[in-house]
Amino acid sequence: MRHFVWERYWSVVKKEVIQIKRDRPSLAIALVMPLMLLFLFGYAVNTDVNDIQMAVWNQSPSAASRELVDQFVHTHVFEVAAQVSSYKEIEAMLDDGSVNVALIIGPDYTRKRDRNEPVDVQMLINGSDPNIARTATSQAQLIVQHQAITLQEMKLQKQGLGELEQPLGLDTRVLFNPNMESIVFNIPGLIGLIMQNVTMILTAFSLVREKERGTMEQLIVTPIRPLELMLGKITPYVGVGLFSFCLVLLVGTYWFGVPVKGSISLLVTLSVLFLVTTLLLGIFISTVAKTQLQAMQMAFAFILPSVLLSGFMFPRDSMPLVIQWVGGLVPLTYFLEILRGIFLKGVGIDALWKDVVGMSSFCLLILTVAILRFRKKIE
């Protein structure tokens, strides 16, 4: 009789619950580690560039030059770390990393500015970190352009021609994350990444543990089917994972201040689907590995590509098409879209159904492959 038998399934569930109770370290990993990782990465993973250390060589000390320096400081992107008096000092500070930017105001700055003559300021930027370099360059250009427009308006007013009229304007509105804070974007992604890694590792040891402890023989002589065994093993971990997910969700929402704009019930429901998928992925690893060390190595071999290909760190649209297809084999790819869609945009299932279908398809695929891989025999 090959159909699913609930009694056999529940017997596996009860056995696994007892195993979880006895294995306190694994339970601690499932409950404590997600919170610890969320706090750690929540503060560490930040792509906002602020307080770039800047050296200033002001060769034309005056109210006008100090006003220019103040405009840099008031953006909160730059912070004056030192006042210098030579290129040699600037080179030394750029070399040892004490500053990343040097603003050089020439000796004729004030005189030319007062005469409304063209005048340049120089900025030296440490390009070893492209993110800092791009931010410093764009902010410096905006500041100088604003200063140039202000000076031009002052010149026209002195000539009695009124204010400078702009022929073209830009009304920019940033939706979903108006302040463009990286933490608002990162926290939903971190929740998905952490839950994937923790839950997958938990079940990656499941069947391997049975082999190493010699209890696989007891399972072999029972009439339990592979489907009943696998679903029975992941069911308790779904409950543990869901509880852990709710904890990190509360921390992300109330501690880091990233509210959920969409439906909480939809988020929890789709999170259960994701937990089942990652737990089954761990079971699949467990059917392939022969030792717990191999299972750990396989799990970590999957974690790194999932970070790179899922869109957690880099936009998937900028990746080659083939790499995007490979990323489609990572369940985190779909769950990140779901998390950010519900967290930031407040969208419903009508906007997320493609990601739900993709994740469901992966779930069924990995379940089928794991069942085919599992053999009720001692290798």
The rounded mean pLDDT for the chain is 83
pLDDT attached to residue 97: 84
Q: Report residue 13 CA to chain centroid gap.
A: 34
Give yes or no for residue 168 having a pLDDT over 50. Answer: no
- Its pTM stands at 0.79
CA-wise closest residue to 331 among 211, 164, 199, 243: 199
Q: Is residue 332 a contact partner of residue 193, using CB atoms and an 8 Å limit?
A: yes
CA distance 35 to 30: 9
Query: What is the reported pLDDT for 350?
Result: 92
Mean pLDDT of the region 267-272: 95
Residue 274's pLDDT band (boundaries 50, 70, 90)? very high
Highest mean pLDDT among 29-33, 119-123, 157-161: 119-123
Which of residues 181 and 124 earns the better pLDDT score? 124
At residue 249, the pLDDT reads: 93
Residue 359 in tokens: 């994740």
Kindly give, in sequence order, each residue whose CB lies less than 8 Å from that of residue 186, ignoring residues fewer than 6 positions away.
41, 42, 45, 46, 47
Residues 65/110, Cβ–Cβ less than 8 Å? yes
Range with the poorest average pLDDT among 98-112, 116-130, 228-242, 354-368? 116-130
Tell me the pLDDT band of 378, cut-offs 50, 70 and 90.
very low
Residue 169 pLDDT > 50:
no
Read off the pLDDT band of 377 (50, 70, 90).
Answer: very low
* Predicted local distance difference test score (pLDDT) of residue 7: 82
Pair of tokens at residue 71: 């405009």
**pLDDT category of residue 81 using cuts at 50, 70 and 90:** very high
The one-letter amino acid code at 205 reads F
Q: pLDDT: is 283 or 376 the higher one?
A: 283
- The percentage of residues in the chain with a pLDDT greater than 90, rounded to a whole number, is 25
DSSP 225-293: -HHHHHHHHHHHHHHHHHHHHHHHHHIIIIIS-----S-HHHHHHHHHHHHHHHHHHHHHHHHH-SSHH
For 301-329, how does the pLDDT look when each residue is reduced to its tens digit (9 = 90+)?
888 888 888 988 878 887 888 998 999 88
Q: What does the DSSP 8-state code read for residue 205?
A: T
- Region 65-79: mean pLDDT is 89
pLDDT band at 204 (very low <50, low <70, confident <90, very high): confident
Q: For residue 61, what are the CA distances in angstroms to 56, 67, 78? A: 11, 10, 19
pLDDT of residue 44: 72
With both helix axes pointing from N to C terminus, report the angle between 182-204 and 292-309 in degrees, rounded to the nearest 10: 160
Q: Say what the pLDDT of residue 332 is.
A: 93
pLDDT of 256 over the 50 cut: yes
Please give the average per-residue pLDDT across 10-25, as a whole number.
82
| Res 115 pLDDT > 50 | yes
How high is the pLDDT of residue 170? 47
Our CA dihedral for 220, 224, 229, 233, rounded to 10 degrees, sits at -90
pLDDT at 114: 78
CA 338 to chain centre: 14
Query: What mean pLDDT comes out for the span 74-89?
Result: 90
Residue-wise burial string across 155-176, b where 16 or more C-beta atoms lie within 10 A, e elsewhere: eeeeeeeeeeeeeeeeeeeeee
Which residues are within 8 A (CB) of 172 and not within 5 positions of it... i.e. 6 or more apart? Answer: none
What pLDDT is recorded for position 280?
A: 92
